[in-house]
């Protein structure tokens, strides 16, 4: 068995003929079915293809090329992948997976069109373009868009899960799983769409159900709470007062007075 050459620069040499043929390279980038961006070694965008405009929503070539710099991108910094991207300058191919970009932030950073999109989940492969002397001339990034979150369906699934399981103890992981999102992303997107956190939505749903039980004169206050999966003598009675401004007994009296 022969030893494999481990020089990362050598891994890209089979493509060298394509890169040296400028016309062929231009056509390959332009008609590639996935978004492609080419960057200079300082991180400035020098070329983008048609798919980048159409799928990511960048307004124009002029608005992006020569202006956007991946190493100065605040979203890239926030995701903590700047140093990983820089490895491409050492001749490595870098694979970045399951990245989630909030679209409103992309509007600010990338000058993209304002579309009915909340977030993009993408994989990005960065690879160097090598000169004949084995130095990096520039590098390319290919974007594979795995999921476009428009927000409505995912958040609705989360709300439905909460409304179906409101008697149970709140489980952030299961709620997010029902929405097919990560916990962090679901919480952030839910608050943006609904105006409150998923946990607050759960609390409000449970309190609403407790109010309904408290209006039933055949149930004691303890029974009303128990029917909603919580102990009246526990912490939830304090949560009830904090949310409604009334103790459970005060709420019952007020509800009975209104029903007369």
Q: Which domains does the chain have, with CATH numbers?
A: 8-149 (3.30.450.20), 152-258 (1.10.10.60)
pLDDT at position 6 is 43
- Sign of the C-alpha dihedral, residues 207, 208, 209, 212? positive
Q: How far is CA 79 from CA 99, 113, 147, 170, 217, in A?
A: 8, 22, 18, 28, 54
Beta-bridge partner residues of 145? 122
CA–CA distance, 244 with 213 (Å, rounded to integer):
15
Write out the chain's pLDDT in tens, 260 residues. Answer: 334 344 444 444 444 444 555 666 677 778 889 999 999 999 999 999 999 988 888 888 998 999 999 999 999 999 999 999 999 999 999 999 999 888 878 887 777 887 777 788 899 999 998 888 889 999 999 999 988 877 678 888 999 999 999 999 999 999 999 988 888 888 988 887 788 999 999 999 999 999 999 999 899 999 999 999 999 988 899 999 999 999 999 999 888 777 66
Q: What is the model's pTM? A: 0.55
CA–CA distance, 188 with 250 (Å, rounded to integer):
35
pLDDT at position 3 is 41
User: Residues 213, 219: contact at Cβ < 8 Å?
Assistant: yes
pLDDT at position 110 is 73
Name the DSSP letter for residue 132.
T
CA–CA distance, 5 with 161 (Å, rounded to integer):
53
User: Locate tokens 């492969």: which residue?
Assistant: 125
């Amino acid at each position: 068995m022969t030893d494999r050459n481990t020089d990362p620069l050598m891994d890209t040499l089979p493509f060298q003929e394509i890169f040296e043929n400028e016309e062929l390279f231009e056509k390959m980038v332009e008609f590639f079915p996935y978004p492609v961006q080419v960057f200079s070694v300082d991180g400035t965008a020098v070329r983008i293809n048609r798919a980048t405009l159409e799928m990511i929503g960048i307004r124009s070539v002029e608005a992006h090329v020569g202006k956007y710099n991946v190493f100065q991108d605040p979203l890239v910094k926030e995701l903590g992948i700047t140093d990983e991207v820089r490895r491409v300058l050492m001749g490595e191919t870098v694979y970045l997976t399951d990245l989630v970009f909030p679209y409103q932030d992309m509007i600010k950073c990338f000058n993209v069109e304002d579309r009915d999109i909340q977030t993009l989940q993408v994989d990005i492969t960065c690879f160097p373009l090598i000169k004949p002397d084995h130095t990096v001339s520039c590098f390319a990034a290919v974007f594979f868009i795995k999921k476009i979150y428009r927000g409505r369906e995912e958040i609705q699934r989360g709300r439905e899960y909460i409304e179906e399981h409101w008697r149970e103890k709140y489980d952030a992981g299961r709620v997010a799983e029902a929405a097919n999102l990560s916990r962090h992303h679901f919480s952030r997107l839910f608050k943006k769409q609904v105006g409150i956190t998923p946990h607050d939505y759960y609390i409000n749903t449970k309190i609403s159900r407790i109010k309904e039980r408290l209006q039933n004169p055949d149930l004691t206050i303890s029974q009303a709470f128990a029917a909603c999966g919580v102990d009246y003598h526990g912490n939830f009675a304090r949560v009830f007062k904090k949310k409604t401004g009334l103790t459970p007994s005060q709420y019952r009296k007020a509800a009975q007075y209104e029903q007369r």
